[in-house]
């Protein structure tokens, strides 16, 4: 098979890495890819949201299966476009991708089908949003409706902070049309977990649980990022809780979408807050999580390609996925200044030293090559905010953490930043 992976982050490198292990696969392309995917796939310089050029490429190369990483092409309708041309593609159609493309839409479905989530109001006028904030008081959470590159959610400690957020989103239009509507909701308290599942619109097969680290600094301080690290499994998600999430969240959500006339196929990602009252949904995404995918796929023993095909063909049924019993931890190395302004083109040293370490993989995110040869050693430079995801397997979370950080110590680039406490929340369950 010839497979095209769309995207250029750590998630896509992990997908390419996993797909490359499938005996069904002869050739992988990645658009646009990074310096990591270049070593396993042929990078194609088409941006991931240029869906017309992707279609043209897939037709020309007779791609057998396209796997879409990021949300933007899904929301833009890449799946509808490819399907119309008879091309096989993994991901939800545009109608389904709204669960991520519109927080208002996701909230309306959750409310209609009684899926546990924060109490909220939906507003199209700033005045009404501000009145609601004044009525509800703080802390309170303000969310821009549309895609805002992870920056459209403000967890406000004071009423003033929330009102400022409404003005930024709805009046200054900081996120463009993504801010025409807002969701304002109660702040939930608890531990977060990422629940990611395959679904063919009928059956649901959850992947191993995981936990992300959204804030840029240790102890969950500083602004939100795309994710500074992740581990799997997340011990906060006990078997009982997983069952509860399956029954109360995943199943009614997919069934609800079906009732609305939407056959949702692909990956369903539920961001969950485990509160004292039980699990509640923070958000739904229409794709694999990044960086959660890196530790999850390190642990997946089953071939992923037949799963993609089963989802597309509506034959997922009760397919079992085999998991490595070990834990995996991914530490993200970022450019200095991220999630704010940062430099690009900084040489990265030491990645090749990781090859000697057993059970460690460095997934590239924002990396590029200075020459077309793209030699793993001297040629690699930074090209984004999140640069690398150093991912290690260990017999326990603690061993995986230690191994990941030992590997991190071998890598260096100017301005490199990372959290020193990835996985720490899991340790209280291991003691």
Of the listed pieces 105-113, 135-143, 251-259, 288-296, which binds ligand GLY according to CB under 6 A?
A: 288-296
Of the listed pieces 126-134, 197-205, 285-293, 369-377, which binds ligand GLY according to CB under 6 A?
A: 285-293
Lookup: tokens for 359: 């059970």
Does position 12 bind ligand AMP by CB under 6 A? no
Does position 71 bind ligand AMP by CB under 6 A? no
Contact yes or no for 398/430 (Cβ under 8 A): yes
Contact yes or no for 232/250 (Cβ under 8 A): no
Among ligand GLY, ligand AMP, none, partner that 40 touches (CB below 5 to 8 angstroms by kind): none
79 or 228, CB closer to ligand GLY?
228
Residue matched to tokens 């899926």:
115
Does position 192 bind ligand AMP by CB under 6 A? yes
Does position 155 bind ligand AMP by CB under 6 A? yes
Contacts of 354 (CB under 8 A, 6+ apart): 360, 361, 362, 390, 407, 410, 411
Nearest of 141, 393, 122 to residue 273 by alpha carbon: 141
Contact yes or no for 296/196 (Cβ under 8 A): yes
CB of 187 to ligand AMP, least distance (A): 4
CB of 292 to ligand GLY, least distance (A): 6
Among ligand GLY, ligand AMP, none, partner that 227 touches (CB below 5 to 8 angstroms by kind): ligand GLY
35 or 153, CB closer to ligand AMP?
153
Say how many Å lie between the first and final Cα of the chain, rounded.
46
Contact yes or no for 75/62 (Cβ under 8 A): no
Of the listed pieces 169-177, 180-188, 244-252, 255-263, which binds ligand AMP according to CB under 6 A?
A: 180-188
State the virtual CA torsion across 305, 252, 150, 48 in degrees, nearest 10.
30
DSSP string, 284-305: EESS--TTTHHHHHHHB-S-SH
Q: Binding ligand GLY by CB under 6 A: which of 234, 292, 379, 386? A: 292
Does position 389 bind ligand GLY by CB under 6 A? no
Does position 209 bind ligand GLY by CB under 6 A? no
Query: Which residues lie near ligand GLY (CB under 6 A)?
Result: 212, 227, 285, 289-290, 292
């Amino acid at each position: 098979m010839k497979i095209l992976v769309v995207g250029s982050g750590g998630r896509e490198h992990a997908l390419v890495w996993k797909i490359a292990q499938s005996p069904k696969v002869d050739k992988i392309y990645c658009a646009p890819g990074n310096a990591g995917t270049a070593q396993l796939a042929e990078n194609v310089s088409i941006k991931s949201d240029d869906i017309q050029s992707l279609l043209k490429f897939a037709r020309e190369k007779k791609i057998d299966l396209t796997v879409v990483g990021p949300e933007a092409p899904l929301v833009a309708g890449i799946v509808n476009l490819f399907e119309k041309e008879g091309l096989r593609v993994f991901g939800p159609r545009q109608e389904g991708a709204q669960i991520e493309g519109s927080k208002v839409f996701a909230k309306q479905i959750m409310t209609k089908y009684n899926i546990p989530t924060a109490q909220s109001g939906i507003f199209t006028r700033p005045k009404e949003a501000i009145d609601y904030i004044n009525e509800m008081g703080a802390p309170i959470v303000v969310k821009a409706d549309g895609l805002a590159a992870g920056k459209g959610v403000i967890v406000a400690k004071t009423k003033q902070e929330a009102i400022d957020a409404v003005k930024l989103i709805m009046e200054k239009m900081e996120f463009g049309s993504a801010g025409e509507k807002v969701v304002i909701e109660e702040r939930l308290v608890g531990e977060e977990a990422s629940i990611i599942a395959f679904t063919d619109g009928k059956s649901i097969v959850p992947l191993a649980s995981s936990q992300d680290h959204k804030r840029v600094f240790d102890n969950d301080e500083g602004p939100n990022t795309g994710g500074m690290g992740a581990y799997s499994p997340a011990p906060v998600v006990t078997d009982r809780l997983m069952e509860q999430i399956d029954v109360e969240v995943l199943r009614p959500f997919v069934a609800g979408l079906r009732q609305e006339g939407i056959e949702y196929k692909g990956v369903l990602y539920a961001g969950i807050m485990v509160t004292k009252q039980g699990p509640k949904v923070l958000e739904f995404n229409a794709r694999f999580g990044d960086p959660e995918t890196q530790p999850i796929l390190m642990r997946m023993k089953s071939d992923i390609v037949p799963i993609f095909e089963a989802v597309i063909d509506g034959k997922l049924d009760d397919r079992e996925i085999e998991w490595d019993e070990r834990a995996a931890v991914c530490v993200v190395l970022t450019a200095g200044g991220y999630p704010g302004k940062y430099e690009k083109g900084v040489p990265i040293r030491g990645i090749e030293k990781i090859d000697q370490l057993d059970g460690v993989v460095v997934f590239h995110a924002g990396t590029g090559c200075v020459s077309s040869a793209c030699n793993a050693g001297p040629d690699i430079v930074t090209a984004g905010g999140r640069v690398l995801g150093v991912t290690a397997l260990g017999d326990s979370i603690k061993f995986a953490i230690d191994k990941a950080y030992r590997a991190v110590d071998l890598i260096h680039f100017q301005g490199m930043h990372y959290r020193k406490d990835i996985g720490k929340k899991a340790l209280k369950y291991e003691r």
